[in-house]
Structure 1
Amino acid sequence: MVLPYKHEPFTDFSNEDNRKKFLAGLDLVNSYLGKDYDLVIGGQRVTTEEKIISINPANKEEVIGRVAKASRDLAEQAMQEALKAFETWRKSKPEMRADILFKAANIVRMRKTEFSALLVKEAGKSWREADADVAEGIDFMEYYARQMLELKEGVPVESRPGELNKFFYIPLGVGVVISPWNFAFAIMAGTTVAALVTGNTVLLKPASATPVVAAKFVEVLEEAGLPAGVLNYIPGSGSEIGDYLVDHPKTRFISFTGSREVGVRIYERAAIVQPGQIWLKRVIAEMGGKDTIVVDKEADLELAAQSIVASAFGFSGQKCSACSRVVVVEDVYEQVINRVTELTNQLQVGDPALFENYTGPVVDQAAFDKIMKYIEIGKQEGTLVAGGEGDNSKGYFIKPTVFKDVAPDAVVMQEEIFGPVVAFTKAKDFDQAIEIANNTEYGLTGAVISNNRDHIEKAREDFHVGNLYFNRGCTGAIVGYQPFGGFNMSGTDSKAGGPDYLLLHMQAKTTSEMF
């Protein structure tokens, strides 16, 4: 029996010693800013003339690191190394693979403040958001290692007299992992180790905005004993190497987290059987959301307001699970709006390296421009009651923004903004509120704030999202507790951190022996 895992605790920053440790982590990260990082192909460091420059989104002048940029030729070289390594890695014992994850988790645990501080610098996360990101990455390693130990013997099936039947799982092959910048450690680490522990080899293409934290994680896996060629680190552009690897006839699966637009493109390209390809590629995709919190008249209105603000503006709303639309029944609509506006105006925006700043910058100039464009649209579609201003003179800062009296079919109620913007609309009753909540092409997360048991049960059946929360915010799924993944255009509902996630990286084999 494999012991269950209790999730990695979040750091208590009310403790002065913990704050001092985090400041020491920031000092450590500051000491190696601007370093060069190589590709890792077949266990060898490979440098390139062309670099990806990672900058601090809170301070555009500060370079986090200069990372080698893979070309198609290097991507092909990495593919060949991964194919070669697969022939031995696929036969390695699951216990050994799990032990590597356990060791890697412990290394990260001992360096938790460093990795968290690096996320503050490279991704623009607040201390608490960065700490939770790293904790989640540790959770993924611990949880998936235990899951692999549960799955290693397969599943019992029936046998008849004189016959022995077995049903077990084998790895797929070479996987391409395309990870996002918003959970630059947790999702990057989780998607990578899920593929590795199941016996696959990996080509890791991290987001170009946050490649340094991925480089540091590759070093951790090497220290933990991962053999050369099993994981190949190849940051590069989507158009140059992303498409190439998605199309590649030897790619067996693609694990992608990112936008709907890119996810749909990958899904389409992966469906085409290339010359020499002898399988149908598997796609594991998490593609975003337009997530709604519903508040009824029996709700705890203070809880509702606090949940909305935390879900909408944590990490500047740059989460696929972030609350970007709120539906409130008309009886309590003004009360909720007024309290949310009051709380939003209290939020401190600034450099996340300072603990007192609740929210930091958005990730880059393109994100800043896109979000500000949506804010201008929102001013035409509703009434601005908080925020609405941006300042990109030093970093990419946008004030948490609230619109009220927005129509359910308005642009800011339908399109994923991926920034600190939330829109409110009014419903005449709870049935209409659920109808409005479902009026989107996405189906990732949602929340209902209510003390009415009939409403909760109705939402449980009718609110069509992959992760539905009651009387709490709609962000913050914990590995092993709330398996995470969505419906419709939110992706393939792959439920990361859940009991069936590893199965997506394997295929089942039946053997039958007669005596």
Structure 2
Amino acid sequence: MSLGYFSYPVPVNEPVLNYAPGSPEKVALKKALAELKKDEIDIPMYIGGEEIRTGDKRSLHPPHEKSHVLGHYHFGNEQHVRQAIDAALKARETWSNTSWETRAHIFLKAADLIATKYRPFMNGTTMLGQSKTAYQAEIDSACELIDFLRFNVYFVTEIYKQQPISSSGMHNRTEWRSLEGFVLAVTPFNFTAIAGNLPASAAICGNVVVWKPADTQIFAAQMFMRIMKEAGLPEGVINLVYVEGTVLGKVCFAHPDFAGVHFTGSTAVFNNMWKTIGENISKYKGYPRIVGETGGKDFVIAHKSAQVDVVVTALARGAFEYQGQKCSAASRAYLPSNLAEEIKSKLVAEVKSMKMGNVEDFTNFLGAVIDEKSFDKIKRYIDNIDGNTAKILVGGNCDKTTGYFVEPTIIETNDPRYATMCEEIFGPVLTIYTYDADKFDEALEFVDTTSPYGLTGAIISQDRQAVELATQKLRHSAGNFYINDKPTGAVVGQQPFGGGRSSGTNDKAGSMINLYRWLSARTIKETFNPATDYRYSFLQES
């Protein structure tokens, strides 16, 4: 029974700590890193509140230090997926009927734990497991994850407030129910915040979840799960499993209680999920919610009026922060002929100044790419450059002796449809094409039609009419569009994130839009003076 209407005001975005020399946060982070590397951790699955150890142990290594073993996680099979579903469904009725303030406070407590006690450990596991620098970890596994938790509480509160009008003699109300079944969350390696938010956003709405993180993100994922348990998350609400994707899909997508999937990953995998769900539609109790954020081939187009240093900085940061492994990373750039040489000269100099290596050395700007499969894919693109249609301006060296290191690489092409202008690489590779400065409209056409994706993009210009034109012409080219900035760095509550075309369903994580997908409305009408005769007045003639 509700004894009041509880207020959750608009949160303030979590401040980003700077990790300056001698700062408390830097001292704490270095201490946490040493602690996390000291002992090999044994990582179980979490199903129905139980720690499940299968004995099929797989090792975890920092991508930048292959020889070091962080620990081992216990790999599961089809049986464990079924156990996770059963545990979720067992918890569903109690969790969905739990009062909103109780649910909300679990996630608010988790946010507070990450902001304080566990901040260095969330950042430390992300740095070591995913090869993020201290700053890239801070804006991800601390600030963005905290923001997701706090803002989602606020957003759900605002959704619950949305109620219909009522006429005289009646009262209408809307219940915002959880979905009838379980939600599957499949999360990526590149953002700890996304990995935490996908299961948490569904759970905060009263749903129960089966969560499969990327194998290369398990080190941070298990830390988040431990925090959620400490915050008071009941058994079975979120069930964390480590299994093959095909096994997961086989069980979950054939289950009659499958209610939805919250996914971030490759377009090909998401397409296959959608196809499988469609083929199994007759098996389900309802129509599942399908929410996905997938690939990108994100762009920066500079107008002839652009400030050179703004373009250079946007490309240096947008393309090479976190080794170009952000969904939003700038991977193709269109430079006007009047500025191209100066931009390229300055950008090459900036890239040559970037240090790459072990992220525990805080002077390094880049770490390693996530694993050998990714390394080999990126290297193939670089090795295939023919020297005629395209050439390397800087970088291009790859070395996996001690870690999966790919130098920040800039390719210049004279073909706007060259492979590295079209295809997602997901690494520290930027391709540049120079267009005739007086043919801006033609360049916009290239931007819009070259790639099947529509995630992020940026226009850099001092000419307001050029900005207006680009904003209109590129309306469907990017779900997140930036003016005079890099195409990365969306902040929860400020720039809801997601794209269309082959980049996903554009359900905008970090906003109410996403949370509507995990709720099912029921409208209730109560009549105070019910009718007692079926006859209407119009039936009478006198």
TM-score with structure 2 setting the length? 0.92
My pick for the range that moved more, 443-452 or 112-121, is 112-121
Partner of 2:442: 432
Tell me, in whole angstroms, the C-alpha distance in 2 between the residues paired with 1:244 and 1:337: 51
Does residue 235 (structure 1) correspond to residue 248 (structure 2)? The answer is: no
- Map 1:433-512 → 2, pairs under 5 A: 433-439=443-449, 440-463=451-474, 464-512=477-525
The alignment partner of 2:323 has SS state of helix
1:495 partner amino acid: K
Tell me, in whole angstroms, the C-alpha distance in 2 between the residues paired with 1:274 and 1:456: 44
Tell me, in whole angstroms, the C-alpha distance in 2 between the residues paired with 1:176 and 1:52: 23
| Residues 1:303 and 1:410: Cα distance change in structure 2 (over 3 Å) | same
The answer to whether the 8 A contact 1:98-1:149 is kept is no
Does residue 62 (structure 1) correspond to residue 68 (structure 2)? The answer is: yes
2:20 partner amino acid: S
Shift of 1:2: 3.2
The alignment partner of 1:315 has SS state of helix
- Map 1:221-260 → 2, pairs under 5 A: 221-260=228-267
Tell me, in whole angstroms, the C-alpha distance in 2 between the residues paired with 1:244 and 1:323: 37
My pick for the range that moved more, 263-272 or 366-375, is 263-272
Length, aligned pairs only: 512
1:107 partner amino acid: L
Partner of 1:394: 402
The alignment partner of 1:85 has SS state of helix
Tell me, in whole angstroms, the C-alpha distance in 2 between the residues paired with 1:377 and 1:486: 30
Shift of 1:193: 1.3
The answer to whether the 8 A contact 1:246-1:254 is kept is no
Deviation string, structure 1 residues 123-152 (Cα, Å, up to 9, x no partner): 011111111112111110111011122223
Tell me, in whole angstroms, the C-alpha distance in 2 between the residues paired with 1:57 and 1:200: 34
Shift of 1:274: 5.1
Does residue 42 (structure 1) correspond to residue 48 (structure 2)? The answer is: yes
Partner of 2:29: 22
Does residue 377 (structure 1) correspond to residue 387 (structure 2)? The answer is: no
* Runs (5+) with no aligned partner, structure 1: none
- Map 1:260-299 → 2, pairs under 5 A: 260-273=267-280, 276-299=283-306
Partner of 1:313: 320
The answer to whether the 8 A contact 2:126-2:219 is kept is no
Partner of 2:209: 202
The match for 1:145 among 149, 153, 176 is 153
Shift of 1:167: 2.3
The alignment partner of 2:253 has SS state of helix
2:168 partner amino acid: P
Shift of 1:100: 0.5
| Residues 1:338 and 1:326: Cα distance change in structure 2 (over 3 Å) | same
The answer to whether the 8 A contact 1:273-1:280 is kept is no
Does residue 362 (structure 1) correspond to residue 369 (structure 2)? The answer is: yes
The alignment partner of 1:167 has SS state of strand
Tell me, in whole angstroms, the C-alpha distance in 2 between the residues paired with 1:406 and 1:114: 46
Shift of 1:479: 0.4
Deviation string, structure 1 residues 53-97 (Cα, Å, up to 9, x no partner): 221111111122211112111110110110111111111112111
1:80 partner amino acid: D
The answer to whether the 8 A contact 1:159-1:165 is kept is yes
Does residue 328 (structure 1) correspond to residue 335 (structure 2)? The answer is: yes
1:182 partner amino acid: N
Tell me, in whole angstroms, the C-alpha distance in 1 between the residues paired with 2:291 and 2:317: 29
The answer to whether the 8 A contact 1:249-1:274 is kept is no
Partner of 2:125: 118
Shift of 1:20: 2.1
Partner of 2:425: 417
2:441 partner amino acid: D
Does residue 9 (structure 1) correspond to residue 15 (structure 2)? The answer is: yes
- Map 1:97-176 → 2, pairs under 5 A: 97-110=103-116, 111-134=118-141, 135-153=143-161, 155-172=162-179, 173-176=181-184
Does residue 343 (structure 1) correspond to residue 350 (structure 2)? The answer is: yes
The alignment partner of 1:247 has SS state of coil
The alignment partner of 2:259 has SS state of strand
The alignment partner of 1:288 has SS state of coil
The answer to whether the 8 A contact 2:281-2:287 is kept is no
The alignment partner of 2:58 has SS state of strand
2:78 partner amino acid: R
> CA RMSD for the aligned pairs?
1.4
Tell me, in whole angstroms, the C-alpha distance in 1 between the residues paired with 2:144 and 2:325: 17
Shift of 1:276: 4.0
The answer to whether the 8 A contact 1:362-1:368 is kept is yes
The alignment partner of 2:66 has SS state of strand
Tell me, in whole angstroms, the C-alpha distance in 1 between the residues paired with 2:444 and 2:196: 35
Partner of 1:76: 82
Shift of 1:275: 5.6
Tell me, in whole angstroms, the C-alpha distance in 1 between the residues paired with 2:513 and 2:460: 29
Tell me, in whole angstroms, the C-alpha distance in 2 between the residues paired with 1:52 and 1:80: 25
Deviation string, structure 1 residues 292-325 (Cα, Å, up to 9, x no partner): 0011111111011011010100010011100000
The answer to whether the 8 A contact 2:340-2:434 is kept is yes
Tell me, in whole angstroms, the C-alpha distance in 1 between the residues paired with 2:333 and 2:148: 31
My pick for the range that moved more, 250-259 or 504-513, is 504-513
